Amino acid sequence: MIYIIDHNDSFTHNVVHQFSLYDKVECDNYNRINTSNLNKASVIIFSPGPGNPKNYPSTSKIYKKFKGKKKMIGICLGFQQILFCEGAKIIEQKKIYHGFQSNIQVTNNKSLFQKGKKFRVGRYHSLKLKEPFKIKNFDITMRCLESKVAMAFENDKDKIYGFQFHPESFLTNNGNLLIKKILSA
């Protein structure tokens, strides 16, 4: 079972439908966590949402508790939340991407995806990862072709993955394939 933690977003149920294509999904709001579902889940998803990772300390606690024990995937805010828990700084960016379609590219040969491969994706983020960023076992694997902003990370050892863009958006081509590959990793 996949457990999705919703950060009051208006895109979370698109995420629910996307993951439901591959497994049973349960979804609860971040301040109404069902502990039994959380413990039962084989995968935990951190949803997109408004604001900054530091606004969601309860989600950070869950991440730290299950790191290395369960597969975890972060999307948009969820991506930032995981990196924030690992000590990264999340900062405002000059150009803001809300409802924006961008071309991104796999830039790292440690990725599950083929290096050099391009994707067209939908973005909804005000904040971004501050770089340089160096944390053990975490690799930035995709970047925006234009701005070079980090768009995905992978930690294959602990099975932790994150996308700054929205694989569930109608603006993302082949979003389902991305999710399928991460889930079977």
Task: Return the residues of window 3-22 that contact other proteins according to CB under 8 A.
Answer: 8-14, 16-17, 20-21
Q: Does 60 bind other proteins (CB under 8 A)?
A: no
Instruction: CB nearer to other proteins: give 101 or 137.
Output: 101
CA angle 21, 76, 36 (to 5 degrees): 60
Q: How far is the CB of 55 from other proteins (least distance, A)?
A: 9
Collect all residues with Cβ–Cβ distance below 8 Å to 40 and sequence separation of at least 6.
Answer: 1, 3
**d(C-alpha 110, C-alpha 87), whole Å:** 22
Question: How many CB atoms are closer than 10 A to CB 184?
Answer: 8
Q: Does 1 bind other proteins (CB under 8 A)?
A: no
User: Which span sits near other proteins by CB under 8 A: 43-51, 66-74, 110-118, 177-185?
Assistant: 43-51
Collect all residues with Cβ–Cβ distance below 8 Å to 89 and sequence separation of at least 6.
Answer: 129, 130
Residues in touch with other proteins (CB under 8 A): 8-14, 16-17, 20-21, 49-52, 77, 92, 96, 98-101, 122, 124-127, 166, 169-171
